Each structure stands twice: as C-alpha cells, then as structure tokens.
Structure 1
Amino acid sequence: MDRVILHCDLNSFYASVELLDRPELKKLPVAVCGDPSSRHGIILAKNDPAKRYGVQTAETIWQARKKCPELILLPPRHRLYREYSRRVNAIYDEYTDLVEPFGIDESWLDVTHTLHLFGMDGGALADTLRRRVKQELGLTLSVGVSFNKVFAKLGSDYKKPDATTVITRENWREIVWPLPAGDMLYVGRAARKLLGQYGVRTIGELAACPREMLEELMGKLGGQLHSYASGCDREPVRSRYQPEPVKSIGNGTTFPKNLTTQAQVAAGIGLLADSVAGRLRRAGLYAGGVHVTVRDPAFHDRSRQRQLPAPTHLIRDLSAAALELAGELWKPPSPVRALTVTAIHLTPEEETYEQADLFSPGGDRERQERLEAAMDGIRRRYGSGSIAFGTARPEEEGGGSFQK
C-alpha cells in the first residue's frame, strides 16, 4: 500500500501573523525584518503585495527598499510565531500522531493509517486542513499530497498561496520532472551550480543521470538526489515527540562591526568554539570533525571542513582546527561580517574511545577536561556569561586571540 503524506506550508508565515493584528496593512507591501542596528537587517518574510515588487526573503533591507520604497517594515515577534506554530500543529495532531515539523511554518503528516477514519482521500483532507486553519487561525496553507516526503514538499511549493496539489504514482513524472533541479529538497545553490555545469537543470534530467556519475561528483548526496528524483524516497515521517539523532552542533554570529585582523577573527572563533564545545558536553557527544563558514559584507559565504585527529568536545581542539580552516578561507585585512563554527561527525560518549595523542600527554588532556567541566559548573550556577575561556570580544581593539 502506498503511503499518503502531506506537506503543509504556512504562506508568508511571519508576515501573515503580523497582519492578523494589522488588517489595515493587508493591501500594502509589508515585510518582517531583523534589526538593522545589530546588522541582522535582512528580510525574514513578506506579504503578497511586497512579492509583486520583487522583494525576496533573505535580501538586505536596502535591496528591498530599492525595489519598493514604500515597503512597511515590522520587527519580528518570535514568541508569537512559535505560539501560532503550536496551534497549527495541534490541528494536525487531530488527524495523525506522525507530524514532523520542518521549521516553524512547515510540517509533514503521514496519514496512511488514519485516513480511513475520516472518510476522505488525501486531497480532501488537505482541503479540510486548509479550511480549518483559515477559519480558526486566520492563516493560509499550501499543501502537497504524495506517496513520499520529497514529492509532498514539491507539491506544497507547486501552487501558492492557499492551494492543494496532489502528486500521484500516475502523474508524478508529468508534474515533477519538468521542475528546476533547485526546487527539490537538499539541492542548494552549490549543488545546483555543479549540476548545471554538466547540463542538469531539471529534476527529470537529474533522474536520467547515471547514479554512479552523481555519486562520483557529489558523494553520498549524489546518490540520494538520484533516488529522490526517481521517486524512490523512503524516508519516514518522524513524530516530533521522537527525538531526532543530532547530526551536527554549530553556532554562528554576525558581528556589530566587520572583523579585519587576525586577532579579531581568532577571538570570534574562540567564542563560537566555546559555545559549541559546551553544547557537545551537555549532549554527551564528541565531534569527529569541524566545519567553518566565513561570510563577507557582500553576503558571500566560503566554507571548509576537516576531520579531527581524535573525537573531542574540548574548546581548544575545536578552536585550533577552526582557526586553521578560517586561515585557509580568509586573509587580513579582508573584512569578515559573520562566522560559523560547526561540530560534525558526532558520536555519543559511550561509543567514543580515547585515541592516544603522541603530542599531548594524557595528564594535559585530563587537566583540560577538568578545567572545562569546572567552567560548565560555574555557568550553570552564575549564568552563561560568567566566565570565558581565553577570549576577548572580537570587536575590541586588538581582539584577543584564543589561548591554547
């Protein structure tokens, strides 16, 4: 029996929630944006009138206002958005216990084994959900209905706003294969550019590629994308009450002022590595690798990752590897707007075996473990900002490098 999976996507979610309190603005171009003074001044959401001017999510405020000088900007209210997300998901819960949120405004629902209770097919249930969310909460949904998660997601994107799209075993090639490859889940900008270099621009062309070629080009992701494009996605819908295995732990920040010196970047890396290491220890995880992203003022990102010599959750190990990666991506005095440090290839503490490091005596490592455990205790008692490990604020003159 084929699965029946819905992907529900709230239309222009942040902006729609804001306009519930400001109905007089519905016909005017409106956008929700971050705080320009803290350099998070990008568009987070926009309504349909703003879309008609070409305003796009994630572009800067000045870019949006260049397109639409009359654009009305509203500050985000994240607590309110979380509350509306909770209410919407409570409606979904009435139809299945398999509801998997995908961000704050999207969810997959597996109704395969509950659909018969409501005497309707997947498309009719999607229409019922759209009607209820509109009547009870004043928000609109686009819903995709299909036999797997990837095609359900494509369906919710296919028609917007307030629409249902059903992708079946009979029509999926006709609907899915002409779509741009970038419309498919996990085909980001870099993957789209790489595929385009080999003439692969649609999902159908992706499915027609030899799987071996895609795996050679893109590794494991290439094989996964080939399966998705061929209609072979088997990924289950995971209940939000079922914990998902943690695949990475990262932290990033946009700095109030651009970083231009080695010391400033080192300080920024140190602060981020400190945060990531603490989260690893709280989760009982060790990192087998580190990934670093450097963003310049033009919003260009450069990333690099590497395997660590041994699994670790220590600040100094993560920071040292991240500093080396940052040095490969950036040279002073080029300005740095934002940095991200991510721990990857995670393993639980009970599965991690101590690997001897010929250059680091065991006693030294034990002292470092005790030091960072003591820092964790101080922070639990006095707050996260009560102690820092060998760092100064990156924006301070002269910075302050991470101490090994």
Structure 2
Amino acid sequence: MDRIILHSDLNNFYASVECLYNPAIRNKPVAVAGDIEKRHGIILAKNYIAKAYGVKTGDALWQARDKCPDIVFVPPSYDKYLNYSKMAREIYSDYTNQVESFGLDECWLDISNSTQLFGDGERVSNEIRQRIKDELGVTASVGVSYNKIFAKLGSDMKKPDATTIITKDNFKEKVWVLPANDLLYVGRATFSKLRKLNVHTIGDLAATNPKFLKQELGINGIMLWQFSNGLDQSKVSEINSYPAIKSIGNSTTLPYDVSIEEDVRITLYILCESVAERLRDSGFFANTVQIWLRDKNLFSCERQGKLLFPTCGSNELFEKAFSIYKANKPHFALRSIGVRACNLSVSSQRQLSCLGEFEIMVKKEKLEIAVDDIRRRFGHFSIQRASMLVNPVLSNLDPKTDHVIHPVSFLK
C-alpha cells in the first residue's frame, strides 16, 4: 500500500505572524527584514501584497523600496515564530506521531496509519488547513503524495491556503511539466548545469540516463533522478527525534568591512566563545576547527585545521581559528566571518593526557563553565574579555542569543 505523506507549508509565515500582531499593517505591503544598521538589511519574508510588486526574499531593502515605495519593513521576532511553529506542530501531532520539521514553517506528516481514524489524505489536509486558519490565524498550503519530495512539491504548487494531491497515476502530468529547479535540491548552480545539458524540466531530468547525471553532477545526480521519477523512499521522522549533530557553528555579518587584524581577532573570539558554550551545552568536544570568510566582493572560502586535543574551550578554538585566518588572509576586507567546530566527540571518547598543555586546557574549560553560569543569570554582556572593550562596535554582538534559526536539511 502506498504511503500517505503530507507536507504543510505555512504561507508567508514571518510576515503573516507580524500582521497578526499589528492589524494596522494587514492590508499593506509588508516585509520582514534584517537590521540595515548591522548590514543584515535584506528581505527575509514578505506578504502577498508586497510579492505582487515583485519584492523577493533576499532583496536588499533599497531594492524592495524601489519596487514598492509604500512597503512597510518590520524586524524579525523569532520568539513569536518559534511559538507559532510549536502550535502548528501540536495540531499536526493530533493526526500522527510522525511529524518532521523542515524549518519553522514547514513539516512533513506520515498519516499512513491514521486514515481509518481521520480519513484520507485530502480530508486530513483540508481539516488541518482549516484548524490552522481558525486556531492560529494564518494559512497553510498542503501537498499530499506517496513520498516526501512530491508532497513538498505539491505544497508549493498552489498558494495560499490550498491542497494539492500528487499520485502515482498523475505525477507525470502534474510534475514532469514543471521547471527542474522546482525540485528540492535543484538550486541555481545545479539548474545552470542542467540547462547546459538541455535538461529544463523535471520530466527532462527523469528521462536522462542516471549514469550520465552521476558523471556530470556526482552522486547528487542519481538522487535527483530518483526524486524526479517519484522513487524517494525517505521516512518521515517521529516527533521529537533529531538528526545527529555533526558540527556546531556561528557566523556573523560585520557592521563594517574589516581588514585590521585586531578587528578580526575580536570577532573570532566572540564567535569561538559562542561555539564553545554551545559545545558544552550539548556535551561535545571539537577535534577540528573550520572558519568561513566572505570578503566585500562576496567571494567566500572555507578552511579548517585539526586541534592537538579535543576541546570545548574557546581559547583553543580561537587560537586554531586565528592561525587558519593568518595562513589564508584574504586580499580584500572581510564582510562576514564564521567559525565551526567539527569532527565532534563526546566526553567518554576524550583521551586524557599527562601533558601540561592538556591540564591547563581543562582548567580553562572549568573557568568557562563558570562564565556560562554568570551569563545565564545576568546576561551575555555581564562578563567580557578586556580585549572586547577596544572596539565596542564589533564587540556588541551576542551570537548565541542572536543566532538565526535556519531550515533543517532534508539530507540528514
């Protein structure tokens, strides 16, 4: 028997929640946007009125203003979005225990074992849409299919507040005519490669020899061929199940282009403190440090290096990150910097050492645990390194609290 998979997508989620809280802007073009003063000034989400003017997610604020002079910009309120996302998942959980998040506004549901209680996929989808509208005040589009890929594709096909059904009998007519970049994981670069291969639609992709796709796109070519032919077999995770954490990182866009080494030092220290605290919260130690650099021309690169000992301390993370930076110093001033702890291990896997450096590192880690406690009680800025006082503009960053929630990857 075919599975019955739903994919629910809350329409214009961020903007819809903001309009709920501010009735005065409900009938105006609205966009949720980053802080232009901190150079995070891009469109994160927009409502349908703004969309009608051509405003797109990722537009700079000045671009959005050019397209729609009367647009209203509002800052993001992630606490609100988290709360509404949680309430939506509670509605989904009334129908199945298999609910898998894909970011804050999207979820897959497998109701294959619930149809005798609640009805078929279309009936459940319509009921869920109505409940979201009545109980949350926002709308959702739901795709119904026999696999996760086509269910997500269905939720994208009709917006807002609609149900789309894709079956084994009709997917060739409904799906194969769509452009190839409508398929999950066919991004801009992949779509550009496919067009050069004369592959323009999902149907073209399905008809292409998978061996040729693997030759041109690597293993992802096989995956996309399977997706386009409706062969995805991935399961919907159960509620409260989480993928294994493979790395922990933080990045930031700087308030101004940075080329002075001391400025880079301050930013790396802040990011390493955040990453180290999150390592300790999760009970992990890092064996490898990776840095990500983007210059003012938006050229980016990643470099990494192995640590002498596994650690959850910010000093060791910083020393390695800074040494990697100095060995790979970019030609132009930096716009964004990121730090990631990789190759993680747990405490039971940590090999002890009698070397003096190891003992000093462990003492510093205990000191940082005390700092964590102080910051939890009195706030991030209650205790800082003296070097942070050199540049209050750069050091006015709390990356752990300000950490933006990104969509969860389908490929776990």
Q: TM over 0.5, yes or no? A: yes
Question: Does residue 380 of structure 1 match 2:373?
Answer: yes
Deviation (angstroms), 1:216: 5.4
Where in structure 2 are the equivalents of 1:212-223 lying within 5 Å? Answer: 212=211, 214-215=213-214, 219-223=218-222
Mapped contact 1:294–1:330 kept (Cα < 8 A): no
Q: For residue 233 of structure 1, what is the aligned residue in structure 2? A: 232
Deviation (angstroms), 1:364: 1.2
After superposition, give the CA deviation of every residue in 1:73-127 in whole Å (9 maximum; x if it has no partner).
2233332222222222222121112112222211111111012201x22122111
Distance in 1 separating the partners of 2:374 and 2:90: 36
Q: For residue 339 of structure 1, what is the aligned residue in structure 2? A: 337
Where in structure 2 are the equivalents of 1:212-291 lying within 5 Å? Answer: 212=211, 214-215=213-214, 219-291=218-290
After superposition, give the CA deviation of every residue in 1:357-396 in whole Å (9 maximum; x if it has no partner).
xxxx932133223212321223223554455679547956
TM-score (norm 1): 0.84
Deviation (angstroms), 1:11: 0.6
Distance in 1 separating the partners of 2:164 and 2:13: 19
Mapped contact 1:256–1:395 kept (Cα < 8 A): no
Mapped contact 1:5–1:149 kept (Cα < 8 A): yes
What is the aligned counterpart of 1:348 among 333, 346, 349?
346
Deviation (angstroms), 1:272: 1.3
What is the aligned counterpart of 2:302 among 301, 304, 310?
304
Distance in 1 separating the partners of 2:17 and 2:355: 55
Deviation (angstroms), 1:195: 4.3
Q: For residue 132 of structure 1, what is the aligned residue in structure 2? A: 131
Aligned residues: 391
After superposition, give the CA deviation of every residue in 1:329-377 in whole Å (9 maximum; x if it has no partner).
7525x232221222234343434657x9xxxx93213322321232122
Displacement over 6 Å in runs of 4+:
396-399
Structure 1 residues 317, 225: closer, same or farther in 2, change over 3 A? farther
Distance in 1 separating the partners of 2:189 and 2:127: 38
Q: For residue 33 of structure 2, what is the aligned residue in structure 1? A: 33
Structure 1 residues 281, 20: closer, same or farther in 2, change over 3 A? closer
Mean Cα deviation higher: 223-232 or 320-329: 320-329
Distance in 2 separating the partners of 1:238 and 1:365: 40
Mean Cα deviation higher: 307-316 or 83-92: 307-316
Mapped contact 1:287–1:345 kept (Cα < 8 A): yes
Mapped contact 1:267–1:393 kept (Cα < 8 A): no
Mapped contact 2:3–2:110 kept (Cα < 8 A): yes
Distance in 1 separating the partners of 2:101 and 2:248: 19
Deviation (angstroms), 1:144: 0.8
Local SS of the residue matching 1:36: coil
Q: For residue 105 of structure 1, what is the aligned residue in structure 2? A: 105
Local SS of the residue matching 2:342: strand
Deviation (angstroms), 1:249: 1.1
Mapped contact 1:7–1:108 kept (Cα < 8 A): yes
Local SS of the residue matching 2:185: coil
RMSD between aligned residues = 3.2
Q: For residue 144 of structure 2, what is the aligned residue in structure 1? A: 145
Match of 2:291, as an amino acid?
Answer: V
Deviation (angstroms), 1:175: 2.6
Match of 1:60, as an amino acid?
Answer: A
Match of 1:79, as an amino acid?
Answer: D
Structure 1 residues 25, 373: closer, same or farther in 2, change over 3 A? same
* Percent identity of equivalent pairs: 40
Distance in 2 separating the partners of 1:76 and 1:35: 9
Local SS of the residue matching 2:37: helix
Local SS of the residue matching 1:235: coil
Local SS of the residue matching 1:37: coil
Structure 1 residues 396, 376: closer, same or farther in 2, change over 3 A? same
Distance in 2 separating the partners of 1:342 and 1:315: 12
Where in structure 2 are the equivalents of 1:53-202 lying within 5 Å? Answer: 53-118=53-118, 120-202=119-201
Mapped contact 2:4–2:145 kept (Cα < 8 A): yes
Deviation (angstroms), 1:70: 1.1
Q: For residue 403 of structure 2, what is the aligned residue in structure 1? A: none
Distance in 2 separating the partners of 1:345 and 1:195: 33
TM-score (norm 2): 0.82
Structure 1 residues 196, 287: closer, same or farther in 2, change over 3 A? farther
Match of 1:271, as an amino acid?
Answer: I
Match of 1:362, as an amino acid?
Answer: L
Q: For residue 364 of structure 1, what is the aligned residue in structure 2? A: 357
Match of 1:232, as an amino acid?
Answer: L
Mapped contact 1:265–1:394 kept (Cα < 8 A): no
Mapped contact 1:55–1:67 kept (Cα < 8 A): yes
